[in-house]
């Protein structure tokens, strides 16, 4: 967990920029486990499956990135305010099936150990650098630095591929909403998990600029 000083600095940035939530997309087959046990880092998933310990999950967990060339298997990958639409689009082109977008409480940013990358963590411009360059409030603010489009909101990272890497399990109580693009699928999962906030929200499955131009997101 960050120091008290860093916690306060991170909270101040979240408040000043009005960051609404953190975002993660996953195959809908993973949703029941995530809602019950939390979002697991890749190291836990791989170790369980490599040891034929899939009973831990009840089934295989379907991963978005087979290679994790960022080499940070102990971390979960989240985006700020909107999905990394470039990666999300690519995943949906390469893998058939249904998806769900999860919105997480921003408290994660100061309650858990996080790394703040201004671009994709696997990018050559950052992947070789020490994590100490990215584990503080300065790094969080740097996600919004550089030349910004005039249509960006304060809470939009400059690079849509910027990401927050969260160490360890992200517990279910941090999940605020589950967003579906398919109404029938939404109704089916809502019947299974009536206490969970689930809504239809197709805008999160498009480009950030398009979604905002249509007034679908703030």
| Contact call for residues 96 and 29 (beta carbons, < 8 A) | no
Task: State yes or no: pLDDT of 90 exceeds 50.
Answer: yes
Query: Helix, strand or coil for residue 100?
Result: strand
The pLDDT of residue 4:
94
| Contact call for residues 72 and 146 (beta carbons, < 8 A) | no
Question: pTM for this one?
Answer: 0.89
Domain ranges of the chain: 4-175
pLDDT in tens, 119-144: 988 888 888 889 999 999 999 999 99
**Rounded Cα distance, 132 and 155, in Å:** 23
| Contact call for residues 115 and 75 (beta carbons, < 8 A) | yes
Rounded mean pLDDT of 200-208? 86
Tokens of 22: 């953190």
């Amino acid at each position: 967990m960050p120091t008290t000083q860093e916690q306060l600095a991170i909270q101040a940035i979240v408040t000043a920029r009005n960051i609404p939530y953190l975002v993660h997309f996953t195959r809908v087959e993973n949703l029941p486990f995530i809602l019950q046990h939390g979002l697991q880092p890749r190291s836990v998933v791989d170790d369980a499956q490599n040891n034929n310990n899939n009973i831990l999950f009840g089934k295989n967990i379907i991963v978005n990135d087979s290679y994790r060339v960022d080499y940070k298997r102990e971390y979960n990958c989240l985006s700020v305010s909107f999905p990394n639409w470039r990666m999300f689009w690519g995943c949906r082109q390469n893998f058939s099936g249904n998806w769900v977008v999860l919105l997480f409480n921003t408290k994660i940013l100061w309650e858990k150990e996080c790394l703040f990358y201004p671009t994709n963590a696997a990018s050559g411009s950052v992947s070789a650098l020490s994590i100490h360059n990215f584990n503080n409030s300065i790094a969080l603010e740097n996600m919004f630095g550089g030349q910004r489009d005039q249509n960006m909101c304060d809470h939009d990272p400059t690079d849509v591929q910027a990401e927050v890497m969260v160490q360890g399990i992200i517990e279910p109580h941090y999940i605020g909403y589950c967003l579906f693009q398919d109404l029938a699928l939404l109704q089916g999962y809502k019947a299974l998990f009536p206490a969970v906030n689930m809504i239809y929200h197709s805008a999160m499955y498009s480009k950030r600029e398009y979604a905002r131009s249509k007034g679908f997101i703030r």
